């Protein structure tokens, strides 16, 4: 009986020892796996060399674009000095922000829509625009503006001037991505959300507030050579004739305090022939002409 008991005790203590050893091995494996995973994640992270913290947007492809693109844009802008790294994940940048300006359904109102940093359309505008390529280019505009641009292009070409389209329609989504690039950079540098918005909006138009988001304007020369555009024959031609085709200089040199945008000799806005003539003759910028200044 006592031998039996002893055998049973041995069996019991062996079982405890085996179980204990197994737990130790499992714990060891778990710890090893944890360190290995951390190591791998860090390695992969290094290869990606992320510039911005991970942000939460509606899809991965867009997030990827935010992290990697747009470095060549806005040569006039420089990031502020780094203050401190923000360790927390950046908050979500709001999508589907409603506009405070309705996108007009009738031609007359559409021609005179005024967008700026305090007047913007909502993201739904993206589905409401009828776009066309400007003939012979890869640039899109609202089809009404594209037709007018083509007439103007042909007229200028007849005078030996080529108004090569550089940047027409830019979707709300694209504008949001461009905006978020800077916004998230400021968050990463330790600014609050409010500060980040204030700083970003000085450098880039928030989504829905750029005329490019509704395809009603065209940048006629690309940023790399924009500095001297006002001294070109193309600018002189536009200054003399653009209104005949329904286009106005949207951001004149003497209206910076009203528009809040620096002189942009390359940015021409469609308003229709009659409005363009009135605006040009009045010497007012669009905000003033509409009584919004
Ligand atoms: Zn422009």
Q: Within 10 A of 142 (CB to CB), how many other CB atoms are there?
A: 22
Q: pLDDT by residue (tens digit) across 202-259? A: 889 999 999 999 999 999 976 556 678 999 999 999 999 999 999 999 999 999 999 9
Task: Tell me how far the alpha carbon of residue 264 lies from the centroid of ligand 1, in angstroms.
Answer: 8
Is the separation of the CB atoms in 52 and 185 below 8 Å?
yes
Percent of the chain past pLDDT 90, that is, above it, reads 60
Tell me which residues have their CB within 5 A of the ion that is ligand 1. Answer: 219, 267
Token pair, residue 105, equals 């359904």
Give the per-residue pLDDT at 164: 93
Contact (CB, 8 A) for 263 and 241? no
**What's the 260 CA to ligand 1 centre distance in angstroms?**
14
Mean pLDDT of the region 155-177:
95
Nearest to 221 by CA among 155, 162, 270: 162
Confidence of residue 98 (pLDDT cuts 50, 70, 90): confident
- The catalytic residues are 264
Ligand 1 centroid to Cα of residue 168, in Å, is 8
What is the distance between the alpha carbons of residues 287 and 63, in angstroms, rounded to a whole number?
A: 35
> What is the whole-number distance in angstroms between the Cα of residue 70 and the centre of ligand 1?
16
Which tokens is 93 given? 């940048």
H-helix segments, 49-91: 60-68
pTM summary value: 0.68
pLDDT digits (tens, 9 = 90+) for 37-59: 443 333 332 322 222 332 323 23
| Pairwise pLDDT comparison (118 vs 147), residue with the higher score | 147
Q: What count of Cα atoms within 13 Å lies in the side-chain half-sphere of residue 85? A: 4
Spacing, Cα 25 to ligand 1 middle (Å): 65
Of 242, 222, 244, 208, which is closest to residue 129 (Cα–Cα)? 208
pLDDT at 138 over 80: yes
162: left (phi over 0), alpha (psi -120 to 50) or beta: beta
Q: How far is the CA of 76 from the centre of ligand 1 (A)?
A: 14
**What is the whole-number distance in angstroms between the Cα of residue 17 and the centre of ligand 1?**
76
pLDDT greater than 60 at residue 148: yes
Return d(Cα 130, Cα 278) in angstroms, integer. Answer: 27
pLDDT at residue 72 in the model: 33
What long-range pairs does 66-71 form, CB within 8 A, spacing at least 24? 66/177, 66/180, 66/181, 66/184, 69/177, 69/181, 70/177, 70/178, 70/181
CA distances from 74 to 17, 62, 202, 222 (A): 69, 20, 12, 11
Q: Could you give the CA distance from residue 196 to residue 25 in angstroms, rounded to a whole number?
A: 50
- Close Cβ partners of 27 (under 8 Å, ≥ 6 residues apart): none
Residue that the structure tokens 């829509």 belong to: 113
Residue that is written with structure tokens 């909006």 in the block: 201
44 Cα: distance to centroid of ligand 1 (angstroms): 39
3 state SS of 254: helix
| Inter-residue contact 195 to 202 (CB < 8 Å) | no
Report how far ligand 1's centroid is from the alpha carbon of 207 (Å): 14
Give Cβ neighbours of residue 290 (< 8 Å, ≥ 6 apart): 112, 114
Q: How far apart are CA 163 and CA 150, in angstroms?
A: 10
């Amino acid at each position: 009986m006592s031998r039996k008991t002893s055998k049973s005790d041995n069996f019991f203590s062996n079982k405890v020892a085996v179980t204990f050893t197994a737990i130790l091995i499992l714990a060891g494996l778990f710890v090893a796996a944890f360190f290995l995973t951390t190591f791998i994640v860090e390695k992969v992270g290094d290869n990606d060399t992320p510039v911005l913290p991970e942000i939460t947007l509606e899809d991965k492809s867009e997030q990827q674009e935010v992290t990697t693109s747009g470095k060549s844009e806005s040569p006039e802008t420089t990031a502020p000095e780094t203050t401190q790294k923000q360790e927390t994940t950046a908050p979500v940048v709001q999508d589907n922000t409603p506009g405070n300006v309705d996108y007009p359904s009738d031609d007359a109102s559409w021609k005179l829509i005024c967008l700026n940093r305090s007047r913007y359309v909502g993201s739904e505008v993206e589905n409401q625009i009828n776009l066309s390529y400007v003939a012979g280019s890869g640039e899109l505009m609202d089809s009404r503006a594209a037709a007018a641009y083509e007439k103007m292009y042909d007229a200028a070409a007849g005078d030996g001037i080529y108004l090569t389209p550089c940047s027409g329609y830019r979707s709300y989504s694209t504008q949001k991505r461009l905006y978020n690039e800077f916004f998230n950079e400021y968050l990463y540098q330790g600014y609050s959300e409010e500060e980040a918005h204030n700083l970003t909006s000085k450098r880039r138009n928030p989504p829905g507030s750029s005329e490019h988001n509704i395809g009603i304007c065209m940048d006629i020369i690309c940023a790399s050579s924009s500095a001297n555009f006002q001294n070109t024959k193309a600018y002189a031609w536009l200054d003399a004739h653009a209104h005949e085709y329904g286009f106005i200089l949207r951001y004149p040199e003497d209206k910076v305090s009203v528009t809040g945008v620096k002189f942009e000799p390359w940015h021409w806005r469609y308003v229709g022939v009659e409005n363009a003539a009135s605006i040009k003759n009045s010497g007012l910028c669009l905000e003033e002409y509409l009584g919004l200044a």
